[in-house]
């Protein structure tokens, strides 16, 4: 087990000069109290810098190392800061000192030097890095150095496709030791290839199998090539997964700005649609307006036609009346002249006829009738369309669209203002990069599938040739064939072992996490945790259903349970450095987590502010497991001193 | 009706030209000729007195402006006394455009709904398309 003995920092962040925390090789909990902006996270970063040469900001973003040089030290002309961490593992003592020397100009990278002494013996750079990688591999650092933000990421494990989940899952398998088995399986693949070559060499020396051996060689070369290609692709896919994770992280950092951008982009799409609709409708209106001169005349034309028809009827009637009277006048005139009615031959009804005639003949204007008829005919030839109401409806529609466009434009402008100080290009770049990385990963995964299928086919060919060699070969092949068969069997065993080991581990992690969770949670109805393939944990209620929506506090407790379970099942163990872990928890949960902490790791270093956990509570709950307390004392707004708290 | 030799082209004044452009700007009319035709029918339906203008610049051939002769028929229907319908039409365009400009000044745009509603209302009230409103020049 890895233990921390001391941490010494010099001109690092707000810590001017040399300051030190001693852990004295003791087991238990160490608490560093500090208000906001005093340098708790910087202390976590000091440990990270010493072990991995990195400094992380919010969202796991790497920070330029030289920025951590203490301001006052820089003012005094100092260009260097350092962190020294003393560790102990299996009776060996290690001291790692990392120094950063800033360059004269900001464009030039700072110089970072690492000195590692094992049992006071300085080690060369390569050995030093190897030792460090074994003491605490960076890949699993998240389970030893973490804060609330990092705990929050475990929620991603419930999302299968998440790249972050993929990264965490790999890290979990690393801490649990799965890669050891995978590596062994890969080694056996290499050994098998070598055994096959040896078998082929032996076969070549036998006249009966010589030709088969040549074929065997060819297939083996093909197989070696295909396996190499598969490895390259697997490495490439791992690299792509990491890059996807980084790109997702980068996007997360600008999540709010991206949300605004997405909203704006979606509004801009809607605007483009509305503009198209506006264009279409305005064209339709334009077509309708080309005949708009009809609309005001529709009623007028009807009235005119009505008037003219009535006039025509009147004129026709007058003309016919006149014609009738003219006819009667003709009869009367003839009656008068002959004394006999020319129609019925009567001779005594002259007076009756005179009476019938009554009025005098009038003059009828036949030109007017012709004119009216002609006008009516002309008007009837004009067919007025009455598309006015349709056009008005379209105009209303257009008006609504224009209002909508105006409102959306105004919102887009507001959103653009919000984005004024955001790295929009960077976000777009990250987004495009993410999309392209996803595409590449899909393409490479497809290639990998093909190659795997190809390897299976080649292996079938291989097995067929091998069988023939065995059948026709003599005793001198037996040893090589048996060696090869043994390695094949071993390879199968390891292939099976990886799957089983993973499954066993998942079950162990589920069990340990559930036990810890039951101790940490204050909710008695929560029964246990259920693990998925990604090591994501869900809470199962006593009545059997899974809790779908979890509070951020519950999320925190589940994440701590997972970290605790990983510690319990890992072949590696070491000190935990936890930054502000109680911010989201109520007092009941804080007390429970505090109680469980000493069992999660032999050494736990807490960086907390008093509001999330008071020293009274810590002392009461931890009792003699609380080894020592420190206070981050404010000297000024940019300077902090680490002071031990006397209890 | 006997028609005297009429104009072969239709002209507008500089002032009318300006209003044509204004209406195009404020509406979805695509062509100035469409605006001018609308001005004619607006004048006819409202009984606006035609406005005689001087110095008209030739704008359209009558064959282009009124290819089917329907507008001439409309003018003749509403003004049977008129012997030169296309010359008369120039006056109707001029007064109709001024009416539309006034309308735009009041409403900010051409409110077809209002214009058509007003025309219908007048006809319901008077049963004849007469609007003696004199639009100031």
Q: Which residues contact A229 (CB under 8 A, 6 or more apart)?
A: A451
With beta carbons less than 8 A apart as the criterion, state whether A205 and A534 touch: no
With beta carbons less than 8 A apart as the criterion, state whether A566 and A133 touch: no
Rg (chain A; Cα; Å)? 48
With beta carbons less than 8 A apart as the criterion, state whether A580 and A608 touch: yes
Shortest Cα distance, chain A CAs vs residue B46, angstroms: 9
Stronger pLDDT, A79 or A478, i.e. the higher one = A79
Strand-pair category, A576-579 with A145-147:
parallel
pLDDT at A473: 66
pLDDT at B132: 37
pLDDT tens per residue, range A161-191: 566 667 777 777 877 778 888 888 888 888 9
pLDDT at position B127 over 60 = no
DSSP summary character for residue A546: B
Confidence of residue A335 (pLDDT cuts 50, 70, 90): confident
- The region of weakest confidence among A68-72, A158-162, A470-474, B114-118 is A158-162
The residue count of chain B comes to 137
With beta carbons less than 8 A apart as the criterion, state whether B125 and A303 touch: no
Q: Look at residue B57 and tell me if it is in a domain.
A: yes
Compare CB distances from B34 to A289, A300, A392 and report the shortest one's residue. Answer: A289
Query: A290 contacts in B (CB within 8 Å)?
Result: 30-31, 34
Query: A289 contacts in B (CB within 8 Å)?
Result: 27-30, 34, 38
Average confidence (pLDDT) over A455-471: 84
CA dist., res. B116 & res. B123, Å (int) = 11
Average confidence (pLDDT) over A225-233: 90
With beta carbons less than 8 A apart as the criterion, state whether B37 and A293 touch: yes
Query: B70 contacts in A (CB within 8 Å)?
Result: 381-382
The residue count of chain A comes to 647
**What is the tally of structural domains in chain B?**
1
Task: Check CB contact under 8 Å for A290 and B30.
Answer: yes
Shortest Cα distance, chain A CAs vs residue B8, angstroms: 21
Parent domain of B109: 10-126
Distances (CA, A) of A285 to A295, A376, A547, B39: 14, 31, 57, 17
Give the pair of three-digit tokens for residue A387.
Answer: 């598309």
Give the pair of three-digit tokens for residue A322.
Answer: 């006149």
Outline where DSSP puts E strands in A102-197.
111-118, 121-123, 145-147
CA dist., res. B55 & res. A569, Å (int) = 102
Instruction: Tell me if chain B has a CB within 8 Å of the CB of A127.
Output: no
pLDDT tens per residue, range A415-442: 888 777 666 777 777 888 889 999 999 9
pLDDT tens per residue, range B75-126: 988 898 888 999 999 999 999 999 999 999 998 888 888 998 887 766 545 4
Note every long-range contact of A304-310, with CB atoms under 8 Å and residues 24 or more positions apart, other chains counting: A304/A379, A304/B77, A304/B78, A305/A376, A305/A379, A305/A380, A308/A372, A308/A375, A308/A376, A308/A379, A309/A376
Instruction: Write out the H or E segment, with its range, that includes residue A604.
Output: strand A603-608
Architecture of domain A1-136+576-647: 3-Layer(aba) Sandwich (3.40)
Q: Look at residue B70 and tell me if it is in a domain.
A: yes
Q: Look at residue B117 and tell me if it is in a domain.
A: yes
With beta carbons less than 8 A apart as the criterion, state whether A590 and A617 touch: yes
Lookup result for tokens 């070696």: A224
Shortest Cα distance, chain A CAs vs residue B42, angstroms: 6
Task: Check CB contact under 8 Å for B123 and A300.
Answer: yes
- The region of weakest confidence among A112-126, A201-215, A314-328, A581-595 is A201-215
pLDDT tens per residue, range A287-310: 999 989 999 998 888 888 898 899
Task: Check CB contact under 8 Å for A289 and B78.
Answer: no
Instruction: Tell me if chain B has a CB within 8 Å of the CB of A381.
Output: yes
pLDDT tens per residue, range A483-496: 888 998 998 888 88
Task: Check CB contact under 8 Å for B30 and A391.
Answer: no
Domain range annotation of chain A: 1-136+576-647, 149-206+474-573, 296-385
The four Cα atoms B37, B41, B43, B45 give a dihedral, to 10 degrees, of -170
Share of chain A above pLDDT 70, in %: 94
Confidence of residue B66 (pLDDT cuts 50, 70, 90): very high
Q: Which of A380-384, A556-560, B38-42, B46-50 has the highest mean pLDDT?
A: B38-42
């Amino acid at each position: 087990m890895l233990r921390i003995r001391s941490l010494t920092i010099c001109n690092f962040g707000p810590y001017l000069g040399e300051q030190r925390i001693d852990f004295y090789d003791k087991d238990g909990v160490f608490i560093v109290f500090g208000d906001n902006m005093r340098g708790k996270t910087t202390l976590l970063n000091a440990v990270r810098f010493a072990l991995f040469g990195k400094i992380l900001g919010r969202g796991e973003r790497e920070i330029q190392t030289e920025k951590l040089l203490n301001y006052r030290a820089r003012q005094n002309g100092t260009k260097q800061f350092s962190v020294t961490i003393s560790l102990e593992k299996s009776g060996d003592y290690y001291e790692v000192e990392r120094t950063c020397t800033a360059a004269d100009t900001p464009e030039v990278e700072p110089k970072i030097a690492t000195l590692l002494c094992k049992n006071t013996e300085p080690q060369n750079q390569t050995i030093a890095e190897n030792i460090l990688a074994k003491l605490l591999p960076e890949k699993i650092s998240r389970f030893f150095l973490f804060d609330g933000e990092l705990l929050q990421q475990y929620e991603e494990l419930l999302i299968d496709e998440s790249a972050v989940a993929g990264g965490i899952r790999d890290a979990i398998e690393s801490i649990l030791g799965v890669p050891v088995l995978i590596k062994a399986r890969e080694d056996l693949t290499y050994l098998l290839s070598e055994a096959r070559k040896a078998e082929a060499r032996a076969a070549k020396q036998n006249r009966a199998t010589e030709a088969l051996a040549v074929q065997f060689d060819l297939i083996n070369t093909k197989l070696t090539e295909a396996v190499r290609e598969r490895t390259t692709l697997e490495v490439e896919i791992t690299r792509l997964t990491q890059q996807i994770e980084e790109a997702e992280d980068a996007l997360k950092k600008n999540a709010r700005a991206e949300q605004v951008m997405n909203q704006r982009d979606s509004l801009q799409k809607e605007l483009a649609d509305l503009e198209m609709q506006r264009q279409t409708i305005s064209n339709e209106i334009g077509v309708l307006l080309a005949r708009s001169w009809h609309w005001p005349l529709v009623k007028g034309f009807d009235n005119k036609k009505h008037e003219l028809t009535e006039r025509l009827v009147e004129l026709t009637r007058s003309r016919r009346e006149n014609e009738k009277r003219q006819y009667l006048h003709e009869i009367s005139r003839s009656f008068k002249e002959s004394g006999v009615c020319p129609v019925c031959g009567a001779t005594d009804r002259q007076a009756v006829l005179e009476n019938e005639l009554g009025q005098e003949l009038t003059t009828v204007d036949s030109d007017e009738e012709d004119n009216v008829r002609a006008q009516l005919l002309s008007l009837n030839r004009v067919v007025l369309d009455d598309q006015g109401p349709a056009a008005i409806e379209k105009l209303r529609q257009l008006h609504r669209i224009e209002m909508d466009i105006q409102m959306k434009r105004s919102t887009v402008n507001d959103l653009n203002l919000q984005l004024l100080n955001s790295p929009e290009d960077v976000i777009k770049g990250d987004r495009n990069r993410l999309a392209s990385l996803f595409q590449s990963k899909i393409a490479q995964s497809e290639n990998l599938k093909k190659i795997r299928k190809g390897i299976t086919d080649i292996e079938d060919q291989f097995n067929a040739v091998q069988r023939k060699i065995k059948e026709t070969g003599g005793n001198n092949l037996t040893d090589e064939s048996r060696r090869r068969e043994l390695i094949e069997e071993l390879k199968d065993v390891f292939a099976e072992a990886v799957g089983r080991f993973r499954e066993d581990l998942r079950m162990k992690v589920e069990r340990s996490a559930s036990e810890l969770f039951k101790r940490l949670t204050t909710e008695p109805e929560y029964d246990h945790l259920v693990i998925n393939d990604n090591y994501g944990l869900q809470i199962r209620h006593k009545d059997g259903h899974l809790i779908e929506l979890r509070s951020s506090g519950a999320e925190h407790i589940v994440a701590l349970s997972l970290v605790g379970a990983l510690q319990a099942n890992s072949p590696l163990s070491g000190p935990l450095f936890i930054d502000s872990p109680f911010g989201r928890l109520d007092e009941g949960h804080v007390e429970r987590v505090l109680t469980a902490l000493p069992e999660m790791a032999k050494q736990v270093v807490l960086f907390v502010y008093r509001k999330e956990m008071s020293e009274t509570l810590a002392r009461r709950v931890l009792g003699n497991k609380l080894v020592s307390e420190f206070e981050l004392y404010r000297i000024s707004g940019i300077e902090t001193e680490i002071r031990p708290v006397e209890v | 009706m006997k028609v005297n030799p009429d104009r072969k082209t239709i002209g507008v004044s500089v002032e009318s030209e300006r209003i044509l452009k204004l209406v195009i700007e404020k509406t979805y009319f695509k062509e100035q000729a469409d605006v001018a035709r609308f001005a004619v029918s607006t004048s006819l339906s409202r009984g606006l007195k035609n406005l005689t203008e001087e110095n008209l610049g030739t704008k359209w051939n009558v064959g282009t402006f009124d290819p089917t002769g329907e507008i001439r028929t409309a003018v003749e229907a509403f003004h049977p006394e008129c012997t030169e319908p296309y010359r008369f039409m120039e006056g109707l365009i001029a007064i109709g455009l001024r009416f539309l400009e006034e309308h735009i000044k009041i409403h900010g745009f051409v409110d077809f709904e209002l214009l058509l509603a007003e025309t219908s209302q007048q006809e319901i009230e008077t049963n004849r398309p007469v609007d003696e409103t004199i639009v100031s020049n």
